[in-house]
Amino acid sequence: MAAELHVLHVNVNGLRARKTECELYLSETKPHIVLLNETKLCGKPVPRFAGYQTAAVRDRTSDKIRGGGVAILVSKSVTFSDISPDMDDIVAIEVTTDKYKFAIVSYYCPPDNKDLNSGVLEQFLLQYERVIIAGDLNAKHQYFGSQCTDARGEQLFDFVERNNMIVANDPDQMTRHDVSTGHTDLIDYVIITKPVASRCVECYVGDCVGSDHLPVHFTVKLASRIDTVPTKQVRILAKCDWTLFSDKLTEATSSYNVSVLTSEAAIDVRCDEIKQSITQAIDLACPKKTIKDYAFRLRPKTVGLNQAEKEAEKKVSKVRRPKVPYYVQQC
């Protein structure tokens, strides 16, 4: 069965202020890629989210530095490359499968007099056949489902038509709710190329995460699996509860059949009982943990040597060298 790529876009209107709501929502919906607009980090780090890593982030650097900001979070199981351009309010990553490469772009276009930056977006279309662009574009066009059409909406319509793209949004689902007026409109978009559209599963508006913008979910069926970080299961014996292990073995031993082993079949049964008892005891006392395949643990002796080396370097750096007279330095 083909894998699916689940992308989530949302204008959070302050990521640090919405951390709790966002973390709960991500734990419930479990998207692979999270595209964030208006992070408003103002130089502060992206907060940590369980199961996700920060793939790309861009604070605003030119004007209105206290607003805007974009970021992309990626599930820790998915491999990616940061392909972001050097500009404000736009970040992008590359995600690969066995057969294809996807460019996934998060773009925030603030509600000012600036034009839609279609030139930068088209650079991705020149390099990738499969492109997903999502963002709060502050563009309104009735063709896509907005309540009215404005100048930015006309630019968006021209961009979509000129590049033979598709707006994946459900035109009946609004993405922004103005609390003060009760007015709703569609200004958050998921725009995709035709090869992506041919495998689109769904695009829908989700539940509120505390912002006046609702999250937009987009899912596409893939011809092959997403490239993921290889993992393996290991037991960390250094953390094993050996007392629990012994108690469980003792408890299991007392339940064995006390009859004398007089046949090969009876011996095989007893061996299976012992094996099962050991397995159950070690699973309780030292359960397996999933780790990255390339992760490894240093031996305590190696760690000790590294620490000793660092301490030695510190002591050497504190030793004062004898001062050389100025006239000697000149010789």
- Is 326 within the bounds of a domain? no
The answer as to whether 82 is a domain residue is yes
Domain boundary among 184, 201, 221: 221
Band of residue 69 on the pLDDT scale cut at 50, 70, 90: very high
Between 97 and 91, residue with greater pLDDT: 91
Model confidence at 327: pLDDT above 50:
no
Residues 150 and 128 in one domain: yes
The secondary structure of 215-253 as a DSSP string is -EEEEEE-SSPBPB--EEEE--GGG--HHHHHHHHHHHH
Residue 275 scores a pLDDT above 70: yes
Tell me the two tokens of residue 80.
């990616």
Higher confidence at residue 323 or residue 317?
317
CA 300, CA 305: separation in Å to the nearest integer?
Answer: 9
Q: At a CB cut-off of 8 Å and minimum separation 6, what does 252 contact?
A: 273, 277, 280, 281
Q: Within the chain, what is the greatest distance between any pair of CA atoms?
A: 98
Classify residue 312: in a domain, yes or no: no
Mark whether 276 and 158 lie in a shared domain. Answer: no
Q: In terms of domains, do 46 and 178 share one?
A: yes
Decide: 95 and 80 in contact? Cβ < 8 Å.
Answer: yes
Per-residue pLDDT, 227: 63
- Clarify whether residues 49 and 181 are in a common domain: yes
Q: What percent of the chain has pLDDT over 90?
A: 58
Q: How confident is the model at residue 112 (pLDDT cuts 50, 70, 90)?
A: confident
Higher pLDDT among residues 328 and 87, named by residue:
87
User: What DSSP element (H or E) covers 150?
Assistant: none
Residue 42 domain-assigned (yes or no) = yes
Written as one string, the DSSP assignment of 59-116 is ---SSSTTS--EEEEEETTB--EE---SSTTEEEEEEEBSS-EEEEEEE---SSSPPP
Residues 203-241 have pLDDT tens digits of: 999 999 999 999 999 999 987 777 666 667 788 888 899
Report the domain count for the chain.
Answer: 2
Q: Where are the alpha helices (DSSP H) in 98-171?
A: 118-127, 151-162
Q: Do 184 and 286 share a domain, yes or no?
A: no
Residue 1 has a pLDDT of 40
Q: Between 221 and 324, name the one with better pLDDT.
A: 221
**Residue carrying structure tokens 């012994």:** 246
Does 81 reside within a domain? yes
- pLDDT above 50: residue 326: no
Mean pLDDT of 256-275: 82
Closest by CA position to 96, among listed 1, 231, 232, 222: 222
Q: Please tell me which residue, 268 or 93, carries the higher pLDDT value.
A: 93
Cα(34)–Cα(15) distance, rounded to whole angstroms? 12
Q: Give yes or no: residues 190 and 289 share one domain.
A: no
Query: Which of 72-81, 107-116, 188-197, 271-280 has the largest mean confidence?
Result: 188-197
Q: Does residue 215 sit in the same domain as residue 79?
A: yes
**Residues 123-144: tens digit of each pLDDT:** 999 999 999 999 999 999 999 9
Q: Which domain holds residue 282?
A: 231-305
- On whether residue 164 sits in a domain, the answer given is yes
Q: Mean pLDDT for the chain?
A: 87
Q: Is the pLDDT of residue 27 over 90?
A: yes
Please indicate, yes or no, if residue 191 is contained in any of the structural domains. Answer: yes
Q: How confident is the model at residue 152 (pLDDT cuts 50, 70, 90)?
A: very high
Question: Is the per-residue pLDDT at 322 higher than 80?
Answer: no
Query: Given pLDDT bands bounded at 50, 70 and 90, which one contains residue 308?
Result: confident
Cα separation, 278 vs 267, in Å, equals 17
- Pair 13, 90 in one domain: yes
CATH code of the domain containing 85 = 3.60.10.10
235 vs 331 pLDDT, higher one = 235
The answer to the question of residue 323 being in a domain is no
Residue type, 248: K
Are both 248 and 168 inside the same structural domain? Answer: no
120 and 145 co-located in one domain: yes
Q: Higher pLDDT residue, 182 or 318?
A: 182
